[in-house]
Structure 1
Amino acid sequence: MERNQLLAIVVIVVVVAGAGVAFVFMQQPGRPPENTLIWETIGNPDYMDPHVNYESFGSWVQFNIYETLYTYPWDSAVTDPSVPLLAASAPVLSADGKNYTITLRQGITFHDGTPFNASCVKWNMERAMKIFYPDGPVWMVAEPLVGGGAVEAAAFGDGPTSAAFKAAFDNWVENSSAIIVMDTYVIRFRLADPYPAFIAAITYEVGAMISPTYAIAHASDAAWATWDAYGVDYGEYENPMTTQTCGTGPYMLTNWVPDQYIELTLYEDYWRTSTSTGAGSLEKVFIRTNEDVNGRSLNLRAGTTDACYWPTTNALDIWSNVTDDSTDPNIFVSTGGYSYTVTFFGFNMGIINMTTGAVLDEKVSPFQWLNFRRAASWAMDYEAFLSAAVNGFGVQGKGCIPIGMFGHNGSAYNWEYNLTAAVEEWNLAMADPNFVDSLNELDNHLVLYYNSGNTVREQGCLLLADGLNAMWGDDDADDTGLDAAMTVTTQALEWSNYLDAIREKRMAIFFVGWAPDYADPDNYVYPFAYHYGTYAQRISYNDTDVNTWYEEAKIETDETARKHLYNLIQEKLAEDAPYLWMYQATEFRTWRAWLHGDGLVYNPMHQAYFYHMYKTYPTT
């Protein structure tokens, strides 16, 4: 998932006044109240609807509002979702590996008082399928379930508002028996094939439980305001729940002002009693956007915020490589955790959508040409990037399956900065007049995009621009047929706008990252290599062999055979070069030394969990 933001937050002064709380958005030395957390970050969530959202900021917020049947340990880096949350116990798996029967906890209510039970689970899963936002996470639920593949094919092939999709979804609900309410508190999932990662897949936020009563009551149209209509129209990803929430988790969304702040309030009737020290101490949580890295660091040093996103480009402002410790005794720097997050440039291999208004404007992307993709890959100075932007908190990327995960094979990825090789590949591309035409159609200019406030990606774009300029300026570089000399610039876009531009294919190249929805290579091969996958769609990558290998690997239970299939996929991706792999991050997080709790323990599968945090201010 596009959990490509390392999260952080804001400057808010909290003034207690009578029965209410006033918020003054200004900087001043005062620290927040001990029951209030202020965390500063960049960007905005995309959607608050967990069945639609598919990026890291929104997932972080939802992790604290909504709950899934299972979760990951809050106090360790274990990546197996072994903790029953809304489930009462581990699932019972049938002998053939196709049926998961789950007993649920009793006595849980949603924030609006609606009782949670098995009917709610079935309703939520079917609601997600009815929406089936093609750029969302529903694929990971649809693919394993009996009949879900037909719904997925209609969603991607015809669109989730089409007659074909409506027929496929209705038929699935009526005839598949993919999800069965066995009893009030017992639910069964029926899979088309054995799929060991199923529980992990529904532990991602797409498996989060929304109050059916609340969603139905807030439907955008009375026609959908029934249980059987799920409170949404077919394909209605822009629905009222994209800005509202109603879950079973420890916090409720009180306010969200995009580009400014998010306010969460502790749910006083939260069902779970936790043994974690200080659980429930934070009654208010504020997350606010602050794109200025210097402003965020100054606020944290001053103590007007409790935690912030401190990018590795600025790591040495707070971290000593000599002592391996924070240089400020008031700020704790957490390092050492491994990450499955991979960052990369995606090359648009299709059409660049430059349409504005009603005037259609589409350009052929020059990255359709393999030699240009290879040229760009050789033109990147990876060592300079790791030194300037990562400061040792990451390693060079080696393909879509991250280092340390089953199935990883980086042997095919041997890119390094090599200007001679870059020029050779560029000249091979220039031998095709259609490639030259594509450059002229773009006025011989490329723009490298990144999300604003992300200084790591900014550095990456600047270094790639330097490499491309060096390649084009080389005496041996061919410029025959170009209307003008090639130029390149970098441009920042606000996070949600950036994601929109990527989805709409408005860029020839973009820099982004992917963090796991579940710790299995399937969660990386699907988005990057499979033709329905998130990024494969966005860059127009579609290889018949790769598609077949993916489908076989997904259901293969023999590890040796499965690994062989993943090797084939990675070798083909290396050959086709649809992505420029930049780096795989390791942990670098900062917060005030007064902030504590299991909710801060690093786990590559989830982010900060506010319910398990507390603050202890010094007495002097």
Structure 2
Amino acid sequence: MKFKHATLLTALMLGSAAFAATPKDTLVLQQSNDTPTLDPTANYDTGSANMIENMYETLWTYKGNSLREFTPLLATKVPSFTNGGKTLTVDLRKNVKFHSGNAFSCDDAQYTFERNLVTNSAESGNWFLAEALTGTQANANDDKTVTWDKINKSVTCNSKGQLVFTLPKADPAFLAKLAFSGQSILDKQWAIKQGEWDGTEKTWKDWVGKDVQGSNLSKNPSGTGPYQLVNRDANALLFKAFAGYWGGKPAIQNVIVQKIPELAARQQAFLRGDADLIEAGSRANIEEQLKGKPGVVIVDGLPNTSATGIFMNENIKASDALGSGKLDGNGIPANFFSDANLRRGFANSFNYAQYIQDVQQGKGKQRTMLLPDSFPGYDAKIKTYSYDAAKAKSYFQKAWGGNVWKTGFTLNADYRAGSVAAQTAMEILKKNVEALNPKFKINIKAKQWSEMLNDSKQGKEPMIIIGWAPDYADADNFMYTFYSSNGYYFPRSNWKDAAVDKWLDQARATVNTAERNKLYSQVANRAYEQAPYLLVPAGVNVFAVRDNLVGATAANYNPMLGSSSLYNGSPWKVLSKK
């Protein structure tokens, strides 16, 4: 049967709508978290990427489940560089419409990349685009070498209607960078109509570094993708297939994305057939609650290209998170984690084997560095920490000249609400640390995803568990992000090491693979010594789907895409039901 919009909207507002069975033309997804933004320029989290990748399109995307091959979207083909790797000319697809009805042209693509460069900030995924096109990660407010002329000349439209990128130096990762969902093409006329930047030199300075997460474009998006937003509220989003989509009519005509914080509620909806794909929790949750149940198919053995760590912030910028603000047992000072012995104590307090068993059902791997082991540059020979109460006690007794052991501490630690794996990790750490000394106290708390993201990027979180999914398939995207004092995650950890910064900059300056790998090994060794993070073991990815859902397979699973990161599923347009 066909689902009428009125029925869909009723279900949407209910939040936990119960269908006897979801209709063949309707996909119901359930997740624990909210969606921070629907503006591609501000997109830099998997929750937002899940939606944006289905509403908007990049010039090209990853082909099937490959991490190295691309297939064109708004480009007619994946181009090759000329001019010694500094010029990229892109032929654009014709007869493409935006959801607004506006026709797609090169002018939209130029506007998109210029807007990304103008508003570029540490809170968006545009720093690596800026680095490639303007030679710096910074925007014009933070780096005076970034001028309108430099931005305007870096991306242009020629007389043939082709999009031309001009790089100051060759960047072998540039094609992969443009496949990131944050580089999705915007509807220029629609954006301007919504009150966004008008694309001119006259007004560009007013928009430099501007936070567009909650932009009018986020509230009223218009992409070229197969699905368009129909409605949204605090707990759900409703999408319908875009009738004017150039790529053909998808089988799934309606998509409902519901925010259901409770894992048990999501699982029950899934088992009843009220939801087609859910954020199903850890491997343990899937195998214990879903595997073998009627109507459920398990897809296992999938690659994991994310990296997760427990952050220990060395410069906490929120007095209300510090308790007393002193090392007196009732709180912690802002620089509590600046002591390496303290960090080593925490690193030896985490039971990695228990996490692998309890969360990953024995199918996990303790990595040596915050880099997927499938990526070039990973070094399996780097030492790792293990759960050792005696070593942990020894390090805690040395920390802060013995004062930590003497006075104790009260520490606040947060994890993403609804994430069973993150909660379990924090509970393991809390139990083991508190068992060492009755004066040690860790208060763990669930926090909404968007709130945790915003607070942590401002350095307000003392300790959090958070991961990184790659923007593009290169070791630099992880190593620089986690370990450089200029990296995206630096405000969350505030760990700085001059030698590490030097090695990472050197790795960016060479195309010699062996030399880069050697430098990354040096970084990993130094990180082991200093323990800026607790490295959470990586699991083998697994997901559950309803047995009538066609297309959610390993062949369509690509860990570089946001839809794979959260639902462990596939782009909506490749799905159908039988």
Q: TM-score, normalised by structure 1?
A: 0.84
1:614 partnered with 2:576: yes
Alignment of 1:202-217 (within 5 A): 202-217=178-193
Whether the 8 Å contact between 2:286 and 2:543 is mirrored in structure 1 is no
Shift of 1:171: 4.6
Q: Which residue of 2 aligns with 1:519?
A: 473
Question: Aligned pair 1:315/2:286, yes or no?
Answer: yes
1:445 paired with 2:445, answer no
Secondary structure at 1:459 match in 2: helix
TM-superposed deviation, 1:232: 7.2
> 2:85 pairs with 97, 100, 108, which one?
97
Deviations 1:206-259 (A, max 9, x none): 211010111111116xxx44555479722222321233311111011112212x
Match of 2:374 among 404, 411, 423: 404
1:456 corresponds to which residue?
421
Preserved contact between residue 301 and residue 330 of structure 1 (Cα < 8 Å): yes
Aligned residue runs from structure 1 range 306-455, under 5 A:
306-312=276-282, 313-318=284-289, 326-354=291-319, 363-431=333-401, 444-455=409-420
Structure 2 partner of 1:72 = 62
- Structure 2 gap ranges (5+): 327-331, 564-569
The answer to whether the Cα contact below 8 Å between 1:14 and 1:32 also exists between their aligned partners in 2 is: no
Amino acid at match of 1:217: K
TM-superposed deviation, 1:542: 2.4
> Measured at CA, do residues 44 and 335 of structure 1 come closer, stay the same or move farther in structure 2, by a change above 3 Å?
same
Match 1:130 to one of 109, 113, 118: 118
State percent identity of aligned pairs: 22
The one of 569, 584, 603 equivalent to 2:558 is 603
The one-letter amino acid of 2:573's match is Y
Matched, 1:188 2:164: yes
1:272 aligns with 2:234: no
In structure 1, distance between residues paired with 2:2 and 2:364: 37
1:84, distance to aligned residue in structure 2 (A): 1.2
Q: CA separation in 2, counterparts of 1:100 and 1:529?
A: 31
Structure 2 match to 1:197: 173
- The structural deviation recorded for 1:44 is 0.8
Alignment of 1:56 onto 2:21: no
Pair 1:501–1:18, CA change in 2 (3 A): closer
Cα 1:245/1:28, change in 2 over 3 Å = closer
The aligned counterpart of 1:533 is: 487
Closer, same or farther: CA 230–49 of 1 in aligned 2, 3 Å: farther
* 2-structure distance, mates of 1:429, 1:268: 63
Distance 1:92 1:16 in 2: 46
Does the CA contact (< 8 Å) of 2:266 and 2:278 recur in 1? yes
Q: Does residue 465 in structure 1 map to residue 443 in structure 2?
A: no
State whether structure 2 residue 245 is matched by structure 1 residue 263: no
| Equivalent in 581, 585, 589 of residue 543 of structure 2 | 589
Give 1:598 deviation, angstroms.
5.9
Structure 2 counterpart of 1:173, from 151, 172, 183: 151
Offset of residue 334 of structure 1: 1.3
Does the 8 Å contact 1:349/1:539 carry over to 2?
A: yes
**Could you tell me whether the CA contact under 8 Å between 2:299 and 2:553 is conserved in 1?**
no
Q: 1:17 to 1:338 in 2, by over 3 A?
A: closer
The answer to whether the 8 Å contact 2:377/2:521 transfers is yes
1:354 is displaced (CA, Å) by 2.5
Q: Which one of 111, 114, 119 corresponds to residue 102 of structure 2?
A: 114
Aligned residue type for 1:182:
N
Structure-2 residue corresponding to 1:4 = none
Question: Structure 2: which amino acid aligns with 1:268?
Answer: A
Residue type of the partner of 1:406?
P
What is the CA–CA distance in structure 1 between the aligned matches of 2:8 and 2:485, rounded to whole Å? Answer: 52
Unmatched segments (≥5 aa) in structure 1: 1-12, 274-278, 320-325, 474-484
Which residue type is aligned with residue 161 of structure 2? Y
Measured on the aligned residues, the alpha-carbon RMSD in Å equals: 2.6
Do the aligned partners of 2:316 and 2:334 also contact (CA within 8 Å) in 1? yes
Contact 1:386 1:392 in 2 (8 A): yes
Aligned length, in residue pairs: 556
Q: What is residue 489 of structure 1 aligned with on the other side?
A: 443
Task: Measure, in 1, the Cα distance between the counterparts of 2:73 and 2:552.
Answer: 16
Amino acid at match of 1:173: I
Supply the distance in 2 between the matched residues of 1:459 and 1:81 (Cα, whole angstroms): 36
Distance of 1:384 and 1:524 partners within structure 2: 26
AA partner of residue 610 (structure 1): W
Aligned-partner Cα distance in 1 for 2:172–2:199: 34
Bigger Cα displacement from structure 2, 55-64 vs 410-419:
410-419
Question: In structure 2, do the counterparts of structure 1 residues 605 and 107 end up closer, same or farther at CA, with 3 Å as the change threshold?
Answer: same
1:571 aligns to what SS in structure 2?
helix
From 209, 223, 230, the counterpart of 1:235: 209
* Conserved 8 A contact 1:78-1:603: yes
